[in-house]
Amino acid sequence: MRQRVLSGMRPTGPLHLGHLVGALKNWVLLQEQYDCFFMVADWHALMSEYEHPEAIARNTRQMVADWIAAGIDPRRSVIFRQSDVPEHLELYMVLSILAPLGWVERVPTYKEQLREVTGRDLATYGFLGYPVLQAADILLYKANAVPVGEDQIPHLELTREIVRRFKFLYQADIFPEPKPLLTKEAKLLGIDGRKMSKSYDNFIALSEGPDEIRKKTQKMFTDPKRIKMTDPGHPETCNVCHYWEVFVPEQAPKVWEECRTSKRGCTQNKQELAEALIRIAEKFRSSPVDSNPVDKILAEGAERATKVARATMQEVKKAVGLS
């Protein structure tokens, strides 16, 4: 039997190139080896966006469209929305009851977000439970592996601790301990040289148009040691050259060599990169946003996810003495 993977993304904004290289490309490959569940984490999105939730439903549709354009196959993988499967909240309740307060308060992302996130009030009862809901997402499907970025490792660790506690309390071996599948790809930097992120407004969205991509690419930082075009470039420290390696690997050696030997200036380098990125973004721009394929995929996904979730909840209710 194939092992199971579950992962999710929060629909808080448009997907960008960083998501594509950091997560999506990896998800597409995982479909070859695992039975995959890919979830739009809209409850998690609501935890931070509850004061202005109006974009969540639209972002959910756009996200699913982008996933499919990237190569997530709705026939092979289960693509679903968290809030369509109420069992997530049932299991979340059970896990909340048995997760010691100290464990959740200790999760580093929690304190960090309270400190760093501005413009939103995250000091709520629900937000403390963020990683417990994430544990419920994973355990409901008995996932063996969870592809995540480095920042999510503490959430996986909490999930594993909860599994052990559940097993100890109820002498019931329902959940496998999920292991993290770390994405090897180094973080993609944004156009300002910081990590590409929605909150820094330094991203290139997957659905961005050609003019926007040209404008943003022109703004990218290059090798700071290269002042004049005749100076030899240092591609290994240039973000634009790094993009060539990530997005057009077959041409990168030539580009890097021309940069080193001053045959290629930074302006030309950015112009040509922009055209390459425009070609990559093309398939996302033409992806169906509002049309029913997405709604149909979500409806089918909800049905397939619910079957698994219901069966798990029956076992859980029995184990904890509710049925």
What residues make contact with ligand TRP under the rule CB under 6 A? 6-10, 41, 44, 134, 137-138, 146, 148, 152
Question: What minimum distance in Å lies between the beta carbon of 318 and ligand TRP?
Answer: 24
User: Is the distance from CB of 74 to CB of 297 less than 8 angstroms?
Assistant: yes
Which residue, 9 or 294, is less far from ligand TRP as judged by CB?
Answer: 9
Which residue, 146 or 298, is less far from ligand TRP as judged by CB?
Answer: 146
Provide the CB-side half-sphere exposure for 309 (13 A, CA). 26
Rounded-to-integer distance, Cα 265 and Cα 268, Å = 5
Angle 189-191-196 from CA coordinates, rounded to 5°: 40
Question: What minimum distance in Å lies between the beta carbon of 138 and ligand TRP?
Answer: 5
Rounded-to-integer distance, Cα 205 and Cα 298, Å = 23
Question: What minimum distance in Å lies between the beta carbon of 152 and ligand TRP?
Answer: 6
Which residue, 132 or 255, is less far from ligand TRP as judged by CB?
Answer: 132
Burial of 69 (0-12, 13-18, 19+ CB in 10 A): buried
Question: What minimum distance in Å lies between the beta carbon of 121 and ligand TRP?
Answer: 19
Question: What minimum distance in Å lies between the beta carbon of 157 and ligand TRP?
Answer: 13
Which residue, 45 or 204, is less far from ligand TRP as judged by CB?
Answer: 45
Question: What minimum distance in Å lies between the beta carbon of 255 and ligand TRP?
Answer: 32
Which residue's beta carbon is nearest to the bound ligand TRP?
A: 8
Which residue, 130 or 247, is less far from ligand TRP as judged by CB?
Answer: 130
Q: How many CB atoms lie within 10 A of CB 255?
A: 23
Q: Which residues lie across from 12 on neighbouring strands?
A: none
Q: Which residues of 168-207 are buried (b: 16+ CB within 10 A; e: fewer)?
A: eeeeeeebbebebbebeeeebbbbeeeebbbeeebbbbbb
Question: What minimum distance in Å lies between the beta carbon of 195 and ligand TRP?
Answer: 14
Which residue, 78 or 146, is less far from ligand TRP as judged by CB?
Answer: 146
Rounded-to-integer distance, Cα 107 and Cα 102, Å = 9
> Residue type at 51?
E
Which residue, 168 or 200, is less far from ligand TRP as judged by CB?
Answer: 200
